[in-house]
Structures are given as structure tokens and as C-alpha cells.
Amino acid sequence: MLAADFLVFSSILSAAWCQAGIKALYPKTLNATSGSCLVIPCQFNISKEKEVFLDRSPVATWLRGSLWSLYDTDNFTNAHRQLEPQMKMVGDLRKKNCTSVMMNLTSLHSDRYFFRLQSEGFSVRETKSVQINVSDSLAEPRVIVPVLREGEVGNLTCTVPAPCPSATPNVTWDPALGGNITQWTQLNADGTQSVQSILNFIPSLRHHELKVNCVSTHLRDREDKPLLSHKTVILNVEYPPKETQISLTGSVWLGNNLTLTCQSNANPSAAHRWFMKKEGFLTCAFLYCGP
């Protein structure tokens, strides 16, 4: 009991000290795919008097994070070496860029990680962690479908996270609707990356209520079968009235009631009006406020 109290006490002390020593900035949570890698975008600030240490080739590590490993030392890390993901520092520490890559991840690596910088006679830790979740499945794509109008160029946008730049997902459309596809990698505000695919096409009547899939494909280091994930959207194409028809029930006799029906196919459905230009001549007209 005494020992436990002491532990908590000393870890609070060291946390307070660390906060003064370093301020690192990285996302609070990151998702990764098992069998792949993960980039942790990271930047840090360090107190003026400690900046000299940056020229003495400090070692940057990510401590796997219960209170134990945060408090405890390399002994814990060594004892659990097989549970530690392989790491690579890709940022330039002298430029306060601590961007790192975790490689060959499995779901066993899901945990909190704390950034630590060390060199001789110097060690600082960030007290906020990044929660890394490694999943065996691929994130579902996000698809944006704007209002589509018949005959007017429209585009569908599909975005999928790309946590590992050396294995970016491939985004395809099924069906591709005879359109043009543009794909690029975009940088998000938190430093992570996404792949975006834009399908540029001309909607027609036959695309109305059609199901379209955005499919994300991800090749993995250790597997021959790629991972797949998809999102299905149903298109809604607006079009002006078509196939206008007038039908008549009842007999055209004086004093008889006659029912005239005016029909048309439009999306959104159009309102109609009757016009009588001349005695005996009726016109049915649809109002359409489309393009």
C-alpha cells in the first residue's frame, strides 16, 4: 500500500516536471490497419536552456503507456520488447519535428503512447498521450453526393484515411458511370493524410436511384489478399417532366362528369396546371423549376 502511494506521488511530480521540459503536439487518437504502418505527425517545443541538447543527437522514443511504463524505465520496455511496435523517426529533431512511423502493426499494439526525448543527462516526456487503435478492418470511406441534375456535370467525392504513406489505399468507383476520376492525397489539419477520389460525370435519367459504391483497397505487407472496404450511396438525379400523358375517364356527353388526368415523370415531381385556350381545347402544362 505504501509502495503504491509512493508510486502515484512520484509520477505526479515527474509529470509536472516534464510539462515544463517539453511540449509536444500530436493527434489525440489515430487509427491504423494491422499489417501496415502508421505515421504519427508530431512537433515539439522545448525550453530555451534545453535546446542545446538537440545538437547532441538525442534519442526519441514512444513509451507504451500505462502509468507503469510512463513512470517505469527501460526495464519495462525491454521486458516487453516483443509488444513494442517497430519505430522510425522520420522528422528532423533539430527542427523540432518528431514525426515518427510505427511499422508492421498488429492489433496487439493498440495502446496509449507518450513521446520521450533523451540524451546524456537529459530526459523529457510529454504527459499527453496518443491513443493508437490498430484494426483488422479498413475504415469505411466517406462519400459526398451533391444535388445532381440531368445533363449537368456533377461530381461524387470519396475520402479514405491514409495512415501509412508507403501503402496508400486505392480508391475505385463501381460503377464508374462513364466519368472521369481524379485521385490525390490530401493533408488534413492534424497532419494526417487522406486519399480523395473525385468522380466527375454527366448524370442522366438512368442514373436516378442507382447504387454506386466507393471501394477502398489496401494491400498489406504480410498478406496476399488485400483488405477491402466500401460505402454505397444511392443517386438522386433531378430531371424535368417527361412522358406527359392525358387520360380521360367517362364519356363526353353533355351534362356528364368527365375526369381528365394529367401525368408526368419528373424529379422532384412537378405541379401541373390546366389551360383552356379555346373552347374545347385543354392544355396540361407542367411547371418545373429545374435547370
Ligand X SMILES: *[C@@H]1O[C@H](CO)[C@@H](O)[C@H](O)[C@H]1NC(C)=O
Binding site for ligand X (CB under 6 A): 23, 25, 29, 31, 43-45, 75, 79, 90-91, 97, 99, 104, 131, 133, 139, 153-155, 161, 170, 172, 179-180, 182, 198, 200-202, 217, 221, 256-257
d(C-alpha 84, C-alpha 131), whole Å: 14
Within 10 angstroms of residue 19's Cβ, the number of other Cβ atoms is: 14
Of 147 and 234, the one with the shorter C-beta distance to ligand X is 147
d(C-alpha 104, C-alpha 77), whole Å: 18
Q: How far is the CB of 145 from ligand X (least distance, A)?
A: 11
Q: How far is the CB of 129 from ligand X (least distance, A)?
A: 12
Of 64 and 270, the one with the shorter C-beta distance to ligand X is 64
d(C-alpha 69, C-alpha 175), whole Å: 50
Q: How far is the CB of 244 from ligand X (least distance, A)?
A: 26
The amino acid present at 46, given as its one-letter code, is: I
d(C-alpha 93, C-alpha 99), whole Å: 9
d(C-alpha 241, C-alpha 243), whole Å: 7
Of 166 and 245, the one with the shorter C-beta distance to ligand X is 166
> Please, what's the b/e burial string for 125-142 (b: 16 or more CB within 10 A of its CB; e: otherwise)?
bbbebbebebeeebbebe
Of 144 and 287, the one with the shorter C-beta distance to ligand X is 144
> Please, what's the b/e burial string for 74-95 (b: 16 or more CB within 10 A of its CB; e: otherwise)?
eeeeeeeeeebbeeebebebee
Of 111 and 241, the one with the shorter C-beta distance to ligand X is 111
Q: How far is the CB of 27 from ligand X (least distance, A)?
A: 7
Q: How far is the CB of 226 from ligand X (least distance, A)?
A: 7
